[in-house]
Structure 1
């Protein structure tokens, strides 16, 4: 290599180094010729160190303080959202997005949506204090907006759910610097921050649709039904109100001219069945209490269900937004998806009871193995509350119900009701077709001791409301799921799986060839394969708990330590 070439390469390397250093800094404002650039550093330091900005709708930004300081430190403590008394085009774009936050399932007022016009007008005065205030407020609200879009507003662990958003968090100082302040397309950067799953996009679109229905809602409530359900052709004074609601929601394409005012017109039956299908109600075409309650649910409540569901989608990493297995608790449904996230099949499930101690939690995890013909180890809480009292009433209770007592190594031992009550031994149900876990269970080890399993109580799957377990999820078609999760294992097929369940080795563990992402989710609004939005009852009150937390505004409560839930059948 010649000395001249070597010097050229050194010069190029030095120039590249300078560019990389400058790339970490904010771009400098330009000033009018002959005008000295104001020094905003003192004001910015004071504001960034303050933890509160009284002018904001939610003044306390203590949870963003260090990030805001890092952001301005990286930019030599200079303003970034205005230039020579005018907002930057990026600031204008952000304000427009704040004002349209409801289209993304957020609350515009949380981002001071309608206060920015007056604030931008004050920039004309070129007052250093007001200019610095505008800048820090814009930075704080922009960071909140991005974080809220990306990981949600409330940490899921606040509700003791098994979802961790920490690994998904952005470096907000870096994101604002690299994706916003010099952006040619702020909307594109914000769109990238949102979940990219088709379910999220469909739910987001449904918000716009349902908000658009609000000014069209001139319908009357459907009259309540007392006693027996109303069948088509029977006397009833609510047909016209019913047709109006069904037409508003899109279940009735054309309102028949002949709808009777005094009977339940049979022409409305198909539309009502479609409505019932979309709301998790038995599709019998009859007008009962549950159907009327769903018909009369205000549009505002449906919009809240959509926004609550969007919040939970934001908690999920990319892997879990497109998980291979998803159980939607309020829908009582499990779905399995292909690698391209196309639904391959779905099945009915039974979930935990609505009482707090038996609710099935929201979980993200990886299914790792299944067990054919499992034992059921009874949780200590059930041993104390249910097993011990039965033992006191009948000395032969354990044997007659296929239970046995064992030590911690699985060796059979004799035990009294008192030993069982204080969990001095393990009570387990022997494998077999009557075992409470059925003939197979699917495990994704978690702190809640929740898993999927088959069940001998198959009659419960015919019900529209299916919250009967102690926390685990019971499967309508366990053999189908077993064949699906073992499809890459040549040792297993439909026949061998059936044989293992019916006549195989007790408590046989089979490892999966690779862990399968699974989400136990909670969506009271879910886009169906039919292209319609489906709504479900808030069976656990998780929507209400979320809305209560959001009502108080940021900063939101710190996440509590997740409690271990003893969940089983």
Structure 2
């Protein structure tokens, strides 16, 4: 049993290390292209009516991801035609979470589904929740952005019982989103990409995956915007200039309850505004990354590391909080002789705010992809529709285009 537990742990770790569902390689610098997913941008991106089929195809090829999703679409449409997407029979009133070594008809049906969906290489027809099925369940959860464990809850089965037409619809929506990626961003060799639904950041350098980190993003009432820009500076031990909206809606109430609230939270008045002084408890952590944009959004460290344990990570007022922010700063500056590891660590001592102007600006894209194909494995990921953007779309069934 000890050997079994050891092998299961190895499997789980392997899935964690590969849980970032996308890896794009080639990108050229971008000059502050603010691409939002809105009707105007969609209209501009879809302005191919006067193009020939050949030139329209060239637009799609601006992103290799589009073609990967097309392959995935073909797969799921074939599953639909052959009626292979069978319902898993459970009684919602009596269902109990399935766990390893349970058995039953539902286990056999889940095994068949995971085989059809590509998470198992074969269908043994067994009704026992064995080690083979455990690996398949982990792979399924990795692809669907779920917490990596072996438990199968009622909600998991409910998700599996969604019709295959929903998977097809999701793929089509994200094929259209691929066309919103700025053209010159697609060809760059250095870039940072944040995919909101996956709660992940990817830093590609010289065409290779250099760094990944978990992130958390804006709440549903303060959504992180979708746009592109260029990172031009890093600020160590930053002040946090509290937005007026937070002062009015939150701080004033707290100050009314506790006259020492500002001092207790290392805050001070500064020219009629409130700011939080540098330090380990600063809401921006020990480093922030700036890129010009009209939404006042940036990326930063956070002292609230416990929030990264949650499956759904929508906690901020719109900015992107990075779990491994300090490591990202080191990786970005590792080839700059003026910024040694020692100097970076010293700048993050939480005493004095220090700004580093990047010698080479880095393109950055904040995207929203609820379906993405892993470049290395070919696996298709289906990620949570964090801001319900998929539901805002309607597919024109005659031509597959996304209409607002």
Q: Give me the TM-score of the superposition, normalised by structure 1.
A: 0.59
> Quick one: distance in 2 between partners of 1:537 and 1:362?
16
1:232 is displaced (CA, Å) by 1.0
Tell me which of 192, 204, 224 is aligned to 1:337.
Answer: 204
* 1:166-215 deviations in Å (ceiling 9; x for gaps): 6x797976xx5xxx4xxxxx54x332122433322212221112111112
Which of 38, 43, 57 is the aligned partner of 1:158?
38
Equivalent residue number for residue 203 of structure 1: 69
Q: Structure 2, unaligned stretches of length 5 or more?
A: 1-34
Within-5 A mapping of 1:525-564: 525-528=371-374, 529-547=376-394
State the 1:322 CA deviation.
4.6
Task: Report the equivalent of 1:349.
Answer: 215
Counterparts of 2:402 and 2:168 in 1: how far apart (Å)? 24
Instruction: Please state whether the residue corresponding to 1:436 is helix, strand or coil.
Output: coil
1:363 is the counterpart of 2:363: no
1:521 aligns with 2:367: yes
Superposed CA RMSD: 2.9
Counterpart position of 1:443: 290
Are 1:239 and 2:86 matched, yes or no?
no
Output the CA distance in 2 between the equivalents of 1:332 and 1:157.
18
Equivalent position SS for 2:348: helix
Equivalent in the alignment of 1:223: 90
Separation in 1, partners of 2:145, 2:48: 41
Write the mapping of 1:422-461 to structure 2, written as runs, cut at 5 A.
Answer: 425-461=272-308
Matches within 5 A, 1:228-377: 229-234=97-102, 236-257=104-125, 259-260=126-127, 264-322=129-187, 324-340=191-207, 342-354=208-220, 356=221, 358-377=222-241
**Deviation sequence 1:374-405 (CA, Å, 0-9, x none):** 11111112111110011111111111111111
Task: Write the deviation string for residues 460-513 of structure 1: whole angstroms up to 9, x where unpaired.
Answer: 22222211111111111112221232244211133321221125x522111111
Residue 228 of structure 1: CA displacement? 6.0
> Contact 1:329–1:522 (CA<8 Å) still a contact in 2?
yes
8 A contact 1:229–1:286 mirrored in 2: yes
| Partner SS, residue 394 of structure 2 | helix
Secondary structure of residue in 2 paired with 1:247 = helix
- Residues 364 and 265 of structure 1: CA distance in aligned 2, closer, same or farther (over 3 Å): same
Question: How far apart are 1:239 and its partner, in Å?
Answer: 0.8
Secondary structure at the counterpart of residue 502 of structure 1: coil
Paired residues of 2:174 and 2:369 also in contact (CA < 8 A): yes
Distance (whole Å) between structure 2 residues aligned to residue 165 and residue 320 of structure 1:
20
Retained in 2: the 8 A contact 1:308–1:547?
Answer: no
Larger radius of gyration: 1
1:199/1:344 CA distance change after superposition, 3 Å: farther
The verdict on how the C-alpha distance between 1:248 and 1:172 changes in structure 2, with shifts beyond 3 A counting, is: closer
| Length, aligned pairs only | 365
Higher percent of residues as strand = 2
Match of 1:384 in 2: 248
CA separation in 1, counterparts of 2:57 and 2:401? 22
Q: Which has the higher contact order (CA 8 A, sep 6+)?
A: 2
8 Å CA contact retained: 1:229, 1:288: yes
* CA distance 1:336–1:550, shift in 2 (3 Å): farther
Sort the Cα spacing of 1:253 and 1:352 in 2 relative to 1 into closer, same or farther, 3 A: same
2:26 equivalent in structure 1: none
What do the CA deviations read for 1:439-463 (whole angstroms, capped 9, x no partner)?
0000112111111100011122222
**Counterparts of 1:549 and 1:303 in 2: how far apart (Å)?**
13
